[in-house]
Structure 1
Amino acid sequence: MFAMSSPCKPDLHINEPQNCINDLPNEVLEYVFNLVSPYEDLKNCSLVCKKWYLGVQKFRVICTRLPPPDLTFPIAKRYSHSTCVHENCMYVFGGCTSTSTTFNDLWSLNLNERCWLRPLTMGNYPTPKACATLVSYQDKLFLFGGWSHPSPYPIFQAWKLFNELHVYNIESKRWSSMVHSTEPPAMAGHSATIQGHLMVVFGGLHKTGDHGLRTNSNDVWCYDIENLVWTKQATTDNRPAARFGQSQVSLDKTSLIILGNIA
């Protein structure tokens, strides 16, 4: 703990060295950084002073197995759900189970406190779906595409693909359905990232025609979030192979990486 002398009293020990937070040895800083969460708390530590900022930049986050998070509000087991991170929360939407159940619930995981919360949402709810994409932009989440898991009864039910775009306002906790004159085809297993003010969507399993036909795609669609317009992006001939189930990572406002392939 560091004590500050009162400005109303003369300093009687003016010749003695004055300690400050910059005098903490690196070993103590390393110990402090290991005690805090690697998310919002570690970011706040970098604002203390220049030395702490440089220390956080060099700090290595090591993955370890931690105790399960607080399950006061347990989230059901699922796979092929959609996730994204906004500020200090990870959001999870939908997904399906091995018993042919598809969800349209939204959950948030506080990354500092490691506790689940299901927001009481309002508005136009998305269809229950899996293999959709969920990205964050400012104070909103954008959910696009996906497919519904076919039930085993009655038999011979086909998967249903969607081209729905829903926006979730984090502050008002409200879903909104977006309808446009030009829209991408129904798809699932695609990938998406935010590049500047664009949501860039690549590939996926696309619906072709009205007869239930589906094909892998390597098309690029862009949604202009500021102007609320979909555009099919023209690209060079040297495009990635058609695929679905891939990962897409944003490098900066103009560049991204596509990784993985299920042809």
Structure 2
Amino acid sequence: MMSHNDDICVYSRSIEDLPEEILLRIFRSLLPYKDYASIRLVCRQWERLWRVIKSWRMNTFYDSLSLSTSSVSIHWHLIDPPAKFNLTPRFSHSVCYVDSKRMLYVFGGNRDMATSLNDFWSLDLSTRSWERILATGSYPPPKCSSTFIDDEQGNLILFGGRSMIYIDDIHMRKQLHNELHAYSLERNSWKLNVNFNEPGPICGHSASMVTVNNQKRMIIFGGCTLTNDQSQQATPQSTNDLWQWTDIQTNTWTMIHVDGIRPEPREGHSQFTLNSENILIVGGSSLTRVCRDVWMFSFQTNQWTQIAVNNQYPNDFAPSNDDLSYLPFCMISPSNILITFGRLKRHPTEHERHAYSQYDFSHCDKRSRDDVLTVSSSFPSSSSDENDERNRCSTTSKRSQLPYINNRYSMMDLSSGFQMYRLDLSNIFSSNPCVTWLPSKCTSVFGSPSHSSLYYSLIYTRSELILFGGIEKRKLNLRREFSDKDNRFRSKSSGTLAFITISNIAL
């Protein structure tokens, strides 16, 4: 029989008395933001274990992406938009991640094809909580398709964009913007930077920060501009111009002179800074086609170089033409990999159909589940808050209650989630530069958002990917006598926030 003193001895032990293996197991489940910064301050042992778990988490993430022969699991964690903050679902919005603040900043976007927004939000990655920012100064107008980047000097730079304005009660036209606004993280205020040498009204362009000759510069490429035709009416036109903007102190725009060939004019593409001498552009669309090419620009030679794209099985390894021009890419620098997510377009096998019919949808957003399945009122309700993880796990044992679905097309609706696509950049600086679409490592798309197929944002943070917003477009089959050009689109914007971890172990 245990004495009273023994009881005191047993229950007075703390977490510091646990073996290091158990501590590592606990630390592995913590978010790599403020939690990591806190545990390293406890004691020297915890700081040493923090370094171990930090290295393990990052290496696991990079290896899972780069090793094409290893299996990988994609873990989706969806958080529905908070109703109390009235965070409007959106697409074509502007996103900027600031690692020093551990914050994701979101500006504007489209609520629908005719309505633009100019609300400003921050997402605390440590708590997974949204907050609307009420800033002072010269506030940007409502717009979408703008670029939003960190100048690494305490400011977020918002440039360009477009919005729709009413000409009369029933007619609208596209308005492009040429304003450059700088948001100060320290002063919580917007500043409008006026310069008469800017590229002009533009949207759908790309931007990234580059350090050239020890000077920070924002480089923008392409986009959609307005030009006057013979009747002096402004018409949209894609461009392939390359511009640079120096920091806030000098506030100077300069068009970069390009020697030799240029990429085809385009918009909706992605741009990345490879180093202080080179930038890379991927994807987009021109006036005539979807751009599947890749180009690299050198600041030393002021020349563009087209990079060969290897794709042995286009239908499996790369997104389809219907989606590619609307998908953002995200760069994982240590792995030399570009990531994007597109809809998986294939029929599930009989084995997958049986497995999918018993899948637990309790962690998916409630709206998508209600659209697909008709279930009784006893079905577990959706849980979108991270604090409800216990409720989400408790429903796993009830998978057998889901009805078996025999309809093949219903199964396509269930299995048409986001597939990860990877573009390998490891040979881009070789003697024969090329990029390669790698084989898909995971075909399980359950848990991914159901209304975010196009115009979403994708950001890489600390060993996880963050996907937000987007819009889904589906063709409505009209009468048979109508051609495909007469088909209409049904659009639905999304406010779902998705955190994506990629590894063999759910982090």
For Structure 1 versus Structure 2, the TM-score category normalised by the shorter chain is 0.7 to 0.9
Match of 2:221 in 1: 202
Q: 1:245 aligns with which of 268, 277, 288?
A: 268
**Shift, 1:114, TM fit:** 0.9
Q: 1:79 to 1:153 in 2, by over 3 A?
A: farther
**Shift, 1:241, TM fit:** 1.9
The more displaced of 46-55 and 65-74 is 46-55
Q: 1:36 to 1:171 in 2, by over 3 A?
A: same
Match of 2:170 in 1: 155
Query: Which whole-Å CA distance do the structure 2 matches of 1:28 and 1:227 have between them?
Result: 51
Match of 1:16 in 2: none
Matched, 1:215 2:240: no
Q: How many residues align?
A: 241
Q: Judge conservation of contact 1:69–1:114 (CA < 8 Å) in 2.
A: no
Matched, 1:64 2:86: no
Instruction: Identify which of structures 1 and 2 has the higher relative contact order when contacts are C-alpha pairs closer than 8 Å and 6+ apart.
Output: 2
Q: 1:96 to 1:153 in 2, by over 3 A?
A: farther
Match of 2:112 in 1: 98
Structure 1 residue identity aligned to 2:182 = V
**Shift, 1:152, TM fit:** 8.6
Matched, 1:260 2:283: yes
**Shift, 1:42, TM fit:** 4.2
Partner of 1:64, secondary structure, is: strand
Pairs within 5 Å for 1:138-149: 138-149=153-164
Pairs within 5 Å for 1:78-157: 78-87=90-99, 88-98=102-112, 100-137=114-151, 138-151=153-166, 154-157=169-172
Q: Judge conservation of contact 1:150–1:159 (CA < 8 Å) in 2.
A: yes
Q: 1:45 to 1:255 in 2, by over 3 A?
A: farther
**Shift, 1:71, TM fit:** 4.8
**Shift, 1:28, TM fit:** 4.4
**Shift, 1:34, TM fit:** 2.5
Match of 2:30 in 1: 36
Q: Judge conservation of contact 1:71–1:115 (CA < 8 Å) in 2.
A: no
**Shift, 1:181, TM fit:** 3.0
Q: 1:72 to 1:38 in 2, by over 3 A?
A: farther
The superposition leaves residues 190-231 of structure 1 with CA deviations (integer Å, 9 ceiling, x where unpaired) of 111111311111111012246212211111111101521111
Structure 1 residue identity aligned to 2:87 = I
* C-alpha RMSD of the superposition: 2.7
Query: Which whole-Å CA distance do the structure 2 matches of 1:173 and 1:80 have between them?
Result: 24
TM-score, with normalisation over the residues of structure 2? 0.44
Query: Which whole-Å CA distance do the structure 2 matches of 1:116 and 1:163 have between them?
Result: 29
Match of 1:178 in 2: 193
**Shift, 1:55, TM fit:** 4.1
Q: Judge conservation of contact 2:155–2:185 (CA < 8 Å) in 1.
A: yes
Q: 1:44 to 1:253 in 2, by over 3 A?
A: farther
Q: Judge conservation of contact 1:100–1:151 (CA < 8 Å) in 2.
A: no
Query: Which whole-Å CA distance do the structure 1 matches of 2:156 and 2:32 have between them?
Result: 23
**Shift, 1:73, TM fit:** 1.9
Q: 1:254 to 1:24 in 2, by over 3 A?
A: farther
**Shift, 1:244, TM fit:** 0.3
Query: Which whole-Å CA distance do the structure 1 matches of 2:53 and 2:29 have between them?
Result: 14
Q: Judge conservation of contact 1:188–1:205 (CA < 8 Å) in 2.
A: yes
The more displaced of 149-158 and 120-129 is 149-158
Structure 1 residue identity aligned to 2:233 = H
Match of 1:9 in 2: none
Q: 1:34 to 1:67 in 2, by over 3 A?
A: farther
Query: Which whole-Å CA distance do the structure 2 matches of 1:73 and 1:172 have between them?
Result: 23
Matched, 1:235 2:258: yes
Query: Which whole-Å CA distance do the structure 2 matches of 1:145 and 1:171 have between them?
Result: 23
Structure 2 residue identity aligned to 1:229 = T
Q: 1:58 to 1:249 in 2, by over 3 A?
A: farther
The more displaced of 223-232 and 33-42 is 33-42
